Homo-oligomer: A and B are copies of this chain.
Amino acid sequence: MVKIMDAAFSLIARQGYESTSISQIARKAGISKGLLYNYFLSKEALLEKLIQNAMSQGEQIVATSFTDDPAKTLENLFRRFFRELRERPEYWRLLTELTLKIDKFKFVHDIAVEKMTAYTELLRHLFVQLGVEDPAGEAKLVAAVFDGIGMQAVVIKQDYPLDELERILIRKYCNRKITQ
């Protein structure tokens, strides 16, 4: 049920998983607690569905960034990442919070590691094409930058200079001559 997922998403993204009760979710979705359990086996199962949903949206972003020009592809990735951060910060909040729950929910670890290695590998591949020195290391660095910016954007919110960071990153990595 999409109403439930939406309600759960916005509440959990804002308050965190443990601080959001099934009652709250049901109330916000406009249904009874009992009905919620017709759709989801447990609170944890609901969370898992939520994450899977969010992840698949993330994959679309990557998929639609590809072009023949690696510099352009990289720029697309950067721009879409920042757009996401601006338009749907709660998505990153949820992902980040969940990532920290790695010891509590077994399904999180697999998703997190898979996501991280996939992104890093993608960046490395682009850096190779762009002739960047130590592409593997640079990819890891940029992956960390992504996570760090996501985290800080979520925390500092409107005061965080997303625009400036976007400009810096694109200038640094996507111009003709990549020297550094």
Contacts and interface: CB of A to CB of B under 8 A. Distances in A.
Contacts of A146: 148
Given A18-B19, A101-B16, A109 B140 contact: no
A129 to B, nearest CB: 20
Interface stretch (A43-51, A63-71, A73-81, A155-163): A155-163
User: How big is chain A's contact interface, by range?
Assistant: 35 or more
Given A102-B155, A113-B156, A148-B149, 18 more contacts: A15-B103, A16-B18, A16-B101, A97-B97, A100-B100, A100-B155, A112-B155, A116-B155, A137-B167, A140-B165, A141-B168, A144-B149, A144-B152, A145-B148, A147-B147, A147-B152, A148-B151, A172-B180
